[in-house]
């Protein structure tokens, strides 16, 4: 099932209870879902586009262009089967509180499940912890140096945690590019073939 919308900014029309927010942006039928923390960390306060306006976000976009997940970097980027969103989309005076994250989690979760990307790319420790705890049944201390650009099997998703790009070494940037490039050389789609239940030999793959 595909989402039918030509809107790239806030395609699901979310309206959180805050004056300023940075909604999701990209292809509503994306294969790759890039998940950040909040606008104060990963940018977009002025542009309204996630992962813009900060040096780290520009570096992430550049790596995704090289890996083939974006057609071009910019504000906004030109997406290619990729979607960007935040755990906390609201612009808050200072870091979001736990109550802020709890209140906005419903928007994030509904968007993630509506898009049903095959690969989740959480950026930074908070996003990685949330994704692994809720979509891969993993809790506890996270070693982002060890997790960076490595594959984890989630509950219906592949998960590639990404260390915060503001702290990358050149080697860590290249590791992400290489991992995503290699991933796309195989069938990474998280689908089930129901063709065995139907007459004939044709596959019937569903997400």
At 2 the pLDDT is 64
135 part of a folded domain: yes
At 197 the pLDDT is 39
190 part of a folded domain: yes
At 201 the pLDDT is 52
At 80 the pLDDT is 83
154 part of a folded domain: yes
29 part of a folded domain: yes
3 part of a folded domain: no
- Contact assessment for residue 207 and residue 1, using Cβ atoms and an 8 Å cutoff: yes
The count of other CB atoms within 10 Å of the CB of residue 192 is 10
At 156 the pLDDT is 85
16 part of a folded domain: no
At 5 the pLDDT is 64
Enclosing domain of residue 138: 25-206
Query: For every one of its 207 residues, what pLDDT tens digit does the chain have, with 9 covering 90 and above?
Result: 566 567 899 999 999 999 999 999 999 999 999 999 999 999 999 999 999 999 999 999 999 999 999 999 999 999 989 999 999 999 999 999 999 999 999 999 999 999 999 999 999 999 999 999 999 866 667 899 999 999 998 888 999 999 999 999 999 999 999 999 999 999 887 554 333 434 555 443 444
4 part of a folded domain: no
> How many Cα atoms occupy the beta-carbon half-sphere of 125 within 13 Å?
8
11 part of a folded domain: no
Q: Which CATH number is 144's domain given?
A: 3.40.470.10
Cα dihedral: 164, 165, 171, 173 (round 10)? 120
- Contact assessment for residue 76 and residue 25, using Cβ atoms and an 8 Å cutoff: yes
At 7 the pLDDT is 85
| Domains: count for the chain | 1
């Amino acid at each position: 099932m595909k989402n039918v919308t030509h809107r790239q900014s806030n395609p699901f029309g979310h309206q959180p209870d805050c004056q300023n927010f940075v909604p999701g942006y990209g292809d509503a039928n994306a294969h790759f879902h890039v998940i950040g923390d909040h606008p104060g960390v990963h940018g977009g306060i002025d542009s309204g586009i996630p992962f813009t306006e900060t040096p780290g976000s520009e570096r992430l976009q550049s790596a995704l262009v090289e890996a083939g997940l974006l057609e071009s970097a910019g504000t906004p980027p030109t997406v290619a089967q990729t979607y960007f969103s935040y755990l906390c989309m609201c612009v808050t005076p200072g870091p979001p509180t736990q109550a802020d994250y709890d209140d906005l989690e419903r928007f994030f979760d509904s968007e993630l499940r509506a898009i049903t990307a095959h690969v989740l790319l959480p950026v930074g420790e908070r996003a990685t912890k949330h994704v692994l705890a809720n979509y891969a049944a993993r809790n506890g201390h996270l070693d982002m140096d060890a997790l960076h650009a490595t594959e984890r099997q989630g509950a219906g998703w592949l998960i590639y945690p990404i260390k915060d790009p503001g702290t990358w070494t050149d080697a860590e940037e290249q590791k992400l590019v290489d991992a995503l490039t290699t991933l796309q050389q195989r069938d990474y789609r998280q689908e089930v073939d129901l063709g065995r239940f139907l007459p004939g030999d044709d596959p019937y793959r569903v997400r």
